[in-house]
Amino acid sequence: MTEKLYGTVLVKASQILDSLSDGKPKSVQVLSKDTAINPPTISKILSTLEYLSYVSRTVDTKEFYLGPAMIKFGAARTTTTNLVDLTRPALERLQLLIDETIHLAIPQKNKVVYVNKLEPKHQGIYMTSKIGMARELYSSGIGKAVLGTYDKNELDAYLKGRELKPFTPYTITNEKELISEIAKVKQLGYAIDDEEQEVGGYCIAMPIVNHGRAIAAISISMPKFRLTPSYKSRVIKALSKTKGEIETELQK
């Protein structure tokens, strides 16, 4: 005898979320095909899920994807694919303010991994990097932004037995200097990479914090020759605005 389930709408909502869990934005018609639920019912359920921030929709194509509320559950796919979707509008707005290379990265096994990259639209010379590339926490601005959220015990655990290998003549390879640098990151709210990862490169980065943990970090990278004190101030202000927008979205 099959047990009668209470709340068939919940079952249908679960089917919709399962369909969206592959990370691909989908239309009502595609979701209907995936779940065998008729389009009018799909639309009604999606409206509720969107209100709860379990799903979001693209502005242009009106397709749906898993929303920011799903990040609270900590699923691996949510912290990658859907984090990229969640942050994309804010990063695109940032790109309009600062025409440089913009990165989104997530912490992974004592490194940071780039999961999204926006290249400048009007710069002939810019920083080279690839989505999926990993960087050390201690040598990159985006990594030091994450380290800046660590408490003393976490930082000690990270440093224990770790060799700080140089990538350039400017990489911080002394543990005491790095600890001092991270203290500065905590104080300022942002981290910099001053030719430490790549000669001629400069990066400013900030962590994205959710429920007290750095789930990601964002950065703006540029050739150092473009940096001026006033431009640095502009970058920091724009990054701080974007960080706030993303963290607010995560709380919805």
Cα–Cα dist 6/96, whole Å: 49
Do residues 171 and 216 share a domain? yes
Does 119 share its domain with 240?
yes
Residue 129's identity, in one-letter code, is: S
Answer whether residue 77 shows pLDDT above 70: no
Same-domain pairing of 94 and 39: no
Query: Are residue 87 and residue 58 in the same domain, yes or no?
Result: no
CATH number, domain with residue 44: 1.10.10.10
Residue 230 lies in a domain: yes
Q: Per the domain annotation, does 107 fall within a domain? A: yes
Quick: pLDDT tens for 89-132: 999 999 999 999 999 999 887 899 898 999 888 776 667 778 88
Residue 76 has pLDDT above 50, yes or no: no
Q: Which of 55-69, 172-186, 187-201, 218-232 has the lowest mean pLDDT?
A: 55-69
Q: What pLDDT, on the 0 to 100 scale, is given for residue 132?
A: 84
Average pLDDT, the chain: 87
pLDDT digits (tens, 9 = 90+) for 225-250: 999 999 999 999 999 999 999 999 88
Instruction: Work out how many domains the chain is built from and give that number.
Output: 2
HSE-CB at 44 with a 13 A cutoff on CA atoms is 7
Residues 62 and 96 both lie in one domain: no
Of residues 84 and 169, which shows the higher confidence score? Answer: 169
Judge if 36 and 112 occupy the same domain. no
pLDDT at 73 over 70: no
Cα dihedral 194, 199, 201, 204 in deg (nearest 10)? -30
At residue 1, does pLDDT exceed 90? no
Distance set, CA 141 to CA 38, 123, 203, 218, 236 (Å): 49, 21, 6, 9, 13
Give domain status of residue 103, yes or no.
yes
**Residue 205 phi/psi, 5° resolution?**
-140, 155
pLDDT(74) > 60? no
Which region among 58-62, 83-87, 187-191, 213-217 has the lowest average model confidence (pLDDT)?
Answer: 58-62
Domain containing 242 — which CATH number?
Answer: 3.30.450.40
- Take residue 66 and report the two structure tokens written for it: 């898993």
Whether 245 is covered by a domain: the verdict is: yes
Q: Is the pLDDT assigned to residue 224 strictly greater than 50?
A: yes
Round to whole Å and give the CA distance between 171 and 218. 20
| Per-residue pLDDT at 81 exceeds 90 | no
Least confident segment among 31-45, 83-97, 121-135: 121-135
* Residue range(s) defining the domain that contains residue 16: 8-66
51 and 148 assigned to the same domain: no
pLDDT of residue 174: 96
pLDDT surpasses 50 at 78: no
Residue 146 domain flag: yes
Record the tokens describing residue 176, joined without a space.
Answer: 């005491």
pLDDT tens digits for 142-151? 999 999 999 8
- Establish if 114 belongs to a structural domain: yes
On whether both 48 and 131 belong to a single domain, the answer is: no
Instruction: Indicate whether 89 and 202 sit together in one domain.
Output: yes
Mean pLDDT, residues 188-208: 96
- Better-scored residue on pLDDT, 237 or 9: 237
- C-alpha 240/C-alpha 224 separation (Å) is 20
Higher-confidence residue of 55 and 80: namely 55
Question: What tokens does 143 get?
Answer: 């990594």
